[in-house]
């Protein structure tokens, strides 16, 4: 029996953190808060969420799309990352309108738009706006952008 432990220097040691996000599930009529694991690469400052672990439909489509959303509000800018699957064989969502299929996960990002932070509970109105606007703009089977910008008046 050999020793299977491998030393990783602090620069290359991934760190697992938990972040609160909003999950829009196809089988629920309302969104709910979901704990999501994310990996932080300390040396690079990058963060990667394990969104696939909370989204259903992995047998229909294993690939998870991600879209960065910039929400411009009077006096402030907010960043979100949407994770979702987009396939005609996924069931229609009950919590996202119109015509969205499958689950979606919305994670908040910091002011730089690079690091995931915990989703505050009072932002559900803005998250609903972002999710429904995105669902309206991007139909199933259409081209999925990597980044979108939305403006609000409030």
Q: What confidence score (pLDDT) does residue 2 get?
A: 43
How many angstroms from the chain centroid is the CA of residue 27? Answer: 18
For residue 147, tell me if it sits in a domain.
Answer: yes
Q: For the ranges 11-15, 22-26, 129-133, which has the lowest average pLDDT?
A: 11-15
Q: What confidence score (pLDDT) does residue 116 get?
A: 80
For residue 1, tell me if it sits in a domain.
Answer: no
For residue 60, tell me if it sits in a domain.
Answer: yes
**The two structure tokens encoding residue 130:** 């972002």
Q: What confidence score (pLDDT) does residue 42 get?
A: 62
For residue 6, tell me if it sits in a domain.
Answer: no
What is the tally of structural domains in the chain?
A: 1
Which domain covers residue 76, as residue numbers?
A: 14-151
For residue 7, tell me if it sits in a domain.
Answer: no
Q: Which residue do the tokens 């989703």 mark?
A: 119
For residue 4, tell me if it sits in a domain.
Answer: no
- The 10s digit of each residue's pLDDT in 58-115 is 666 677 888 999 999 999 999 998 888 777 787 777 667 666 778 888 888 888 877 7
The rounded distance, in Å, linking the Cα atoms of 84 and 22 is 12
20, containing H or E segment:
strand 14-24
Q: What confidence score (pLDDT) does residue 9 get?
A: 45
For residue 2, tell me if it sits in a domain.
Answer: no
């Amino acid at each position: 029996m050999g020793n299977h432990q491998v030393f990783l220097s602090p620069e290359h040691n991934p760190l697992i953190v938990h972040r609160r996000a909003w999950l829009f599930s196809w089988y629920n009529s309302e969104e709910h808060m979901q704990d999501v694991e994310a990996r932080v690469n300390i040396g690079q400052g990058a963060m990667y969420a394990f969104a696939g672990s909370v989204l259903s439909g992995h047998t229909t489509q294993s690939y998870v799309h991600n879209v960065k959303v910039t929400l411009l509000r009077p006096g402030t800018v907010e960043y979100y990352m949407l994770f979702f699957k987009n396939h005609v064989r996924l069931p229609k969502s009950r919590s996202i309108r119109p015509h969205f299929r499958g689950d979606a996960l919305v994670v908040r990002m910091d002011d730089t738009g690079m690091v995931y932070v915990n989703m505050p509970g009072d932002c559900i109105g803005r998250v609903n706006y972002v999710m429904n606007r995105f669902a309206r703009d991007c139909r199933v089977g259409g081209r999925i952008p990597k980044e979108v910008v939305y403006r609000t008046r409030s």
